[in-house]
Amino acid sequence: MLVNSMNFTNGEELLRLCEKNNKTIYEVCIEREMEISGKSKEEILNRMRESLEIMKNAIKKSLTEDIKSVGGLIGGEAKKIRNRLASERPVCGYLMSKAISAAMGVLEVNASMGLIVAAPTAGSCGILPGAIITVGEEYGLSDEDMLNAIFTGSAIGIIITRNATVAGAEGGCQAETGAAAAMAAAGVVEMMGGTPRQAIHAAATTLKNIMGLICDPIAGLVEAPCQKRNAIGVANALISAEMALAGVESIVPFDEVVEAMYKVGKTLPMELRETALGGVAATCTGCNLTKKIFG
For residue 239, the minimal CB distance to ligand SF4 (Å) is 19
For residue 280, the minimal CB distance to ligand SF4 (Å) is 9
- Residues 75, 70: Cα–Cα separation, whole Å: 10
For residue 142, the minimal CB distance to ligand SF4 (Å) is 30
| Beta carbon nearer to ligand SF4, 92 or 280 | 280
Phi, psi of 141 (to 5 degrees): -85, 165
For residue 122, the minimal CB distance to ligand SF4 (Å) is 8
| Beta carbon nearer to ligand SF4, 124 or 240 | 124
| Beta carbon nearer to ligand SF4, 62 or 198 | 62
For residue 167, the minimal CB distance to ligand SF4 (Å) is 8
For residue 52, the number of C-alpha atoms closer than 13 Å in the C-beta half-sphere is: 23
| Beta carbon nearer to ligand SF4, 175 or 244 | 175
Q: Return the CA Rg of the chain.
A: 18
| Beta carbon nearer to ligand SF4, 106 or 146 | 106
For residue 171, the minimal CB distance to ligand SF4 (Å) is 9
What are the beta bridge partners of residue 273?
215
Structural contact between residues 29 and 154, judged by C-beta atoms closer than 8 angstroms: yes
Listed in sequence order, the residues at least 6 apart from 103 whose beta carbon sits closer than 8 Å to its beta carbon are: 126, 127, 129, 130, 131, 230, 231, 233, 234
User: Which residues of the shown chain bind ligand SF4 in the complex (CB under 6 A)?
Assistant: 123-124, 168, 173, 176-177, 215-217, 222, 225-226, 229, 274
| Beta carbon nearer to ligand SF4, 201 or 229 | 229
Q: Which residue is nearest to ligand SF4 (CB)?
A: 168
Sign for the CA dihedral angle at 162, 166, 170, 172 comes to positive
- Interhelix angle 226-245/94-111, rounded to 10 degrees, is 140
- Residues 187, 134: Cα–Cα separation, whole Å: 12
